[in-house]
Amino acid sequence: MPLKEYRRNPAQQHGFTLLEMAVVLVIVGLLLGGLLPVISGQMDQQRRNETRKYMDEVRDALLGYAISTANKRLPCPDSNGDGTAEAACAAQQVGTLPYKDLGVAEKDAYGSVLVYAVTKEFADGTTHFTLNTAGAMRICTTAACTANLTSTTAAVIVSRGANWANTPSADEAENTDGDTDFVSHDFVQNGYDDMVIWISPNILFNRMVAAGQLP
């Protein structure tokens, strides 16, 4: 008795049906859609970490600049974008980081030059500051500045972060409006991504005394 010949149903010989393909595409789409925010979030966290490290270097470079015998003061901000500090900052306290004078990288991980502000008495190359010099800039927790973390900073550096397509929030706008108030608080998704570091006069005094540049 011959074996029954096995034959596939011709209808079963085709590849995937359009419906099957559609289901696969939907699943792939869902997987990618779920992964993209995760990847994007990780990339942003990496940029924040890199920027934080860069800002710590900048802070060290500012302190090193101040304790050097050639300077004995902080640099004035750069106000014309050439990377070098202006000679005097009597009227101009807020500008960008004089990265060339400090010998640090030009930009943060977001591709921006840091905002840099200094209490002008700490950057005066004629009178030089003393152990009695007071900082004048406030680090606030809101744009209205009804509460502040400190009101006596010698210098402030700010990374504007990704900056949400160049439409800063009210708190972020406070960090670039040229006055002596700055806002620092936790990251808020699509709201506030600035990173703020400041130099207390007391830390500056400590380094200056340790280096023999004060009193």
**First-residue to last-residue Cα distance in the chain:** 113
CB of 175 to Ca ion, least distance (A): 6
Task: Establish if 161 lies at the interface with Ca ion (CB under 5 A).
Answer: yes
ω into 75 cis (within 30 of 0): no
Interaction between residue 108 and Ca ion (CB under 5 A): no
Q: Is 160 in the site for Ca ion (CB under 5 A)?
A: yes
106 binds Ca ion (CB under 5 A): no
Q: What tokens were used for 49?
A: 């970490």
**Residue 208 C-beta: closest distance to Ca ion, Å:** 25
149 closest CA partner among 157, 162, 140: 140
Stretch binding Ca ion (CB under 5 A), from 30-38, 63-71, 147-155, 189-197: 189-197
Tell me which of 50, 56, 60, 82 binds Ca ion, using CB under 5 A.
82
Handedness of CA 113, 119, 125, 130 (dihedral sign): negative
Residue type, 85: A
- Judge contact between 100 and 117, C-beta under 8 A: no
Positions touching Ca ion (CB under 5 A) are 78, 80, 82, 84, 160-161, 163, 172, 174, 177, 179, 181, 193-194
